[in-house]
Amino acid sequence: MLNGFDWLLVALAALAAGLVNALAGGGTLITFPVLVALGVPAIASNVTNTVALCPGYLGATFAQSADLREQKRRLWFVVPAAVVGGIIGGILLLNTGEKLFRSLVPFLILLAAGLLAAQTPLRAWLTRRSAQSGARPRAESWAALPIALAAIYGGYFGAGLSVIVLAVLGLVLDDSLTRLNALKQAVAFSTNIAAAIFFVFSGQVVWSVALVMAVGAWLGGTLGGKLASRIPPQTLRWIVVGIGVIVAILYWVRG
């Protein structure tokens, strides 16, 4: 059972995650380790984190709805691929033993930290690519396969999903970074909500914790939106990367 200080810590972690997600991404690298440290089993922590952070993905998707309305044809194949991948990832997670998942945690956290660190060069590459590429037509529906593979990772763990999806979209679609970023939000939201709905029936969600986290993440996202012009996203991103590396090392030291 969590005590009063524990609940405060959960709320503050969710607040920080919401703020970080609004500015730079990688909020899961804050909330997931906190839940595990408070004694919530690793798989339950991951499941609860996925459910609790759904409102943030929804808000980010609505914020870029204008760019999505111009890509309705693409949504017909990327959203189903994301949903299927998210559910498959959720199934894999729930069929992973607690001991095995805990052994995978430091590697997953390092992977997420590495993806977050790669976000700046990835965006720079996508900007250069969109400026150099011609508007040549190509069949795009085949992109559903790599998107589904990325979504499987998202349903399984989730941290760094947005970076993976943006990289996949940049490789398979010729478009501006703005439009690809909007499509990325739709894919990330579809993956997360599909996994979250699946997890609702798993019996692994710690609902009291999820509710506190959802409120904290929403407040943090609101605060992050107001501070967007004052805090350099790149600085915040590297702080989160550092936290992820430290947490992974602590997991290894503790065995």
Check whether 36 has a pLDDT greater than 80. Answer: yes
pLDDT recorded at residue 148:
94
Check whether 151 has a pLDDT greater than 70. Answer: yes
Give the model confidence (pLDDT) of 217-252 as tens digits. Answer: 888 877 766 665 566 667 767 777 787 788 788 777
CA nearest to 218, candidates 34, 35, 27: 27
Of 179 and 41, more confident: 41
Q: What is the mean pLDDT of residues 190-211?
A: 92
For residue 63 the two structure tokens come to 């914020």
pLDDT recorded at residue 137:
46
pLDDT recorded at residue 122:
76
Query: How far apart are the C-alpha atoms of 226 and 86, rounded to whole Å?
Result: 31
Q: What is the mean pLDDT of residues 98-116?
A: 85
Cβ–Cβ < 8 Å for 82, 164 = no
CA nearest to 68, candidates 190, 161, 160: 190
Give the model confidence (pLDDT) of 172-191 as tens digits. Answer: 777 777 788 788 888 888 99
* Number of structural domains the chain divides into: 1
Helix runs in 201-232, H state only: 207-227
Q: Across the chain, what does the average pLDDT equal?
A: 82
Q: Which domain holds residue 77?
A: 4-254
Query: How far apart are the C-alpha atoms of 255 and 252, rounded to whole Å?
Result: 5
Q: Please report, for residues 19, 35, 50, 71, the alpha-carbon distance to residue 160 in angstroms, rounded to integers and kept in the order given.
A: 16, 18, 13, 24
For residue 145 the two structure tokens come to 């396969």
Whole-structure pTM over 0.85, yes or no? no
pLDDT recorded at residue 117:
79
Query: How far apart are the C-alpha atoms of 15 and 199, rounded to whole Å?
Result: 23
Give the model confidence (pLDDT) of 52-104 as tens digits. Answer: 887 766 766 676 677 788 888 888 989 999 999 999 999 999 999 998 998 88
Check whether 194 has a pLDDT greater than 90. Answer: yes
Q: What is the mean pLDDT of residues 34-58?
A: 87
Q: What is the mean pLDDT of residues 124-149?
A: 72
